[in-house]
Each structure stands twice: as structure tokens, then as C-alpha cells.
Structure 1
Amino acid sequence: MKCVFSRTCGIALAAMLALAGCFSESTQAEAVNQTAVPSIAALAPAQTSAPTPAAPTLNVREGVHYTVISPPIPTQAPQGKVEVVEMFWYGCPHCYTLEPTIHRYLQSKPDNVVFQQVPSTLSPRWAYHAKLFYVGKMLDPNGQKQVHNKIFEALQKQRRQINNDDAMIRFFGEQGFTAEQVTKALQSMEMQAMLARSDEVGKGSKADSVPVIIVNGKYMTSPSKVGSEDGLLQVINHLTKLK
């Protein structure tokens, strides 16, 4: 879904957040990020006791539900494992609404799948949010403080602007980390290696929007290609079985 943002379009966009994507350097992406949009839950009809129908089984097709990346992107998965990468941006509401689906996937993914989240660096603003992600990853490596979720909530729900080092230090201070810890992480060689990996995945995939899912460095899909979150999980599972 791609449109010129207006009030009417904003309502339609909110209803399809999980199925769309954010484009860097576009009016739509910036307008969505700066405008409070009704939540999916607020727009959904009242729940009933009727069971949710099972998602139809997709006939997964190349060029429709996924594309082939050529040449393939180098992966970081151990030999014999399949790498699944989600490219995202903290400022993207579509990535935020996809989080529950990603959590659901992690609970049921095959044992041979290694999952990674890789922040996109499509613009300077996105690249700074990539640093935000990697600082959080270094300071909260096991996710005990749920820093990743708190960053998403700070930007998407609280509408905070964490676009410079002072703001980043304040945010991580609220999570119990010191300014020295944040500065050390920002200036580390590990940070440079992680940012290089983000650039490698972004340039190699030629992805111009997020969220996207990259499987084994060879195949790329997205909610907008598939049309539903359940369908996206079907496509991911299909792609992890391909050679």
C-alpha cells in the first residue's frame, strides 16, 4: 500500500498497518510517523465468542508472495542452519504492529532457524535508530529488561523523539543504564560491525521499505506481498524449506 497521506488515507492506512510498509524519503512515511493514528484494536469490530477461522493455505509463488535476491546476501547462521532476518525501523508503525506476529513466529519456529532483527539504514534518521537498536542489544543482550519493546513503545506510543545522543542517554538512563555505558557502546568496534551488517543486508536485498523478511539471504517477502499476517508465516515457513 502506498498513497499520498490525508485524513481519509490515514484511516484506511491505520486499518492496514500490518500489511503495508514504510518507505524512506517519502511523504507518506514521514507523515505517518508524525501523526497519531488509531490503533488496529480501536478500529476492529467487537470480539465475539465465535472462533477465528483458520487462514487459507497459500499456494506460495515466486514473484507474487516473495522475490529472489540475486546475488544472495551472506548469512551469519551456523552451517546447517537457516537464517531468517526481519528488517525494520523503529519509526515505522507497520513494523510495530507486526511485533506480535514476530513473537508468535519465534514461539513456533523450527529448531534449525536462526532469527535476527536487523534495523534498516535507508536514511540518516533510520541509521541513527539502528544505533539505538544496537545499543539496546549490547546493554540488554538477553532481553531481560525488554529494551527493544520499550524503544518501540517510546517512539510509537509515547511519540518521543530519540534522534540524538543526549536523548538516547536519557532514555537508557530511565532503563537503569549509565551515560558511560551508552557512550561506550556507541563508540565500540562491535557497533561498527553491526552497522556494517545492516548496510550489507539493506544494500544486498535492495529493500526500499520495511518491514521485510529475508530468508537464508536468498528470498525476500513482506506483509504487503502476502496480504495477511498468518499468510506471512506460511510464506516464511515455505521459504525456510527451500534450498
Structure 2
Amino acid sequence: MFKRFAHPRLLTLLVGLLLASACTAQSGAPAPYTEGTEYVTLPAPHQRYSSEGKVEVVEVFSYGCIHCAQFAPTAEKLRQQLPAGVAFKLVPAPFSAEWLPYARAYYAAKQLGVVERTHLKLFDAKFAQHYPVNSLDELADFYAHEGVDRAAFMRLATSAEATAKLKEDLALIQRWQVDGTPTIVVNGKYRVITMHSFDEMVAVTQWLVKRELAGK
């Protein structure tokens, strides 16, 4: 019995046709997420948080928000999983007088270079261990316990620069039409709508990030 083998050129043609049809099917597939349901496109002109050039994933949050505390470990995993060319940023939301000290504390901690090692700890101290970390003085005590110079913290948290940053960030948050926390904004262009679960928020964020990377 003779075995029949396709001619190499014919094989190449067949493989090419199969790949082309697969690509066509993929490009014609519906998007997994819907504008207005899982995310919204923000009004133009779109405004990013920084000008460093990378695609941005911004979490608008507050240390006074229990939902932010619950989301924080998931947000940290998201930060670590983002591809090259994508930057993760935190923006504190001063939505009330009670939340102002937390925003000032974040700006001071950022200038002191301690956010990465204190971010999750502050949530834990407030919501898991129920330490009194509400006023700026109490927040200063928390950071001092973490090895931060208390006087330097208070000086930075109450500085004119921190006040100016508060106003600047609040104006940007309002342009992004953020009205709750935690909220994710991708590249100053898309706002992820509150999902049924944090995993959904992350999935939508990663999908939007891929769209932005593909468009660069």
C-alpha cells in the first residue's frame, strides 16, 4: 500500500488558509466586555495622571475606605502582573473631611519613599486590628511605629505642596467622573464600572490595558 503525501507547496498553502481563517474568526469575535456595562469611555480630551509615557492603571482609593482595604491585596497582585510598558499608580480620594488626613498621609509617605512597605499595613492596622488611625496625629504615630521620622512626616503631610496636590488630584478625579472607591481608571481614558467581584474588575482592567498597548 502506498501512502500519499501532500506536496510541500500545497501544505504551505493549506496552512496559510487555515491561519487566515482563524485570524478572521478571531478578529470578528465580539468583545468580552461592553461599553456602558463593564466600563465607560471618559469624555475627551483624555487626561492621564502623569506624562511618563507608559500605559497607566490608576486606583483611586482611600485608607478610610473598607472596600479599598478589601481590594488592596487584589490590587497588589494586579500591579505585579501588569506587563512591561504599564505603570500602576495610586491616587488618594479626599471625598470628605474624614478622608483628608489619609490623602495627606499618602502624599507624605510617597515623598518619604515608604508607600510600598506601609500601604497594606495601614489598611490592616485600621480595619483588621482596629487601631485608632483616623486623625493626622494618629497616622503620624502609625508611620513612626513603621520607622518613619514623625516630624518629617508631619511636615510633609501639612505642607503647601501636599495641599496643592490635594486640589490637583481632586480636580482630576472629578474629570474622571469618579464618585466612589475603589475605582480603576486606565490611561485617563476608561473608567472601570463597579463589578460584582474584584476579580471581574481586574479582568476588565487587564483587557483595557491590552487594548491600549495594542493601540500604541
TM range (shorter): 0.7 to 0.9
What displacement does 1:206 show? 1.9
Q: Distance in 2 between the 1:100 and 1:169 partners? A: 23
After superposing the two structures, state which structure 1 stretch, 62-71 or 227-236, moved more. Answer: 227-236
The runs of 5 or more residues in structure 2 that have no matched partner are 1-30
Task: Tell me the secondary structure at the aligned position of residue 209 of structure 1.
Answer: coil
In the alignment, is residue 210 of structure 1 matched against residue 181 of structure 2? yes
- Equivalent pairs, count: 182
Given the alignment, which residue of 186, 205, 213 partners 1:236? 205
- Name the larger-Rg structure: 2
Unaligned runs of 5+ in 1: 1-57
Match of 1:173 among 123, 144, 148: 144
Aligned counterpart, 2:62: 89
CA distance in 2, matches of 1:142, 1:89: 13
CA shift, 1:208, in A, is 1.2
> TM-score when scaled to structure 1?
0.67
Aligned to 1:194: 165
Aligned Cα RMSD in Å?
A: 2.2
The answer on 1:76 being equivalent to 2:50 is yes
- Pairwise CA distance, 1:192: 3.3
> TM-score, normalization: structure 2?
0.75
Offset of 1:82 from its aligned partner?
A: 0.8
Name the residue aligned to 1:6: none
Distance 1:123 1:231 in 2: 28
2:74 to 97, 101, 121: 101
Q: Which one of the candidate residues 174, 189, 192 is aligned to 1:221? A: 192
* Percentage identity across paired residues of the two chains: 30
- Is structure 2 residue 135 aligned with structure 1 residue 161? no
How much does 1:85 deviate? 0.3
Structure 1 stretches (4+) deviating beyond 3 angstroms? 187-190
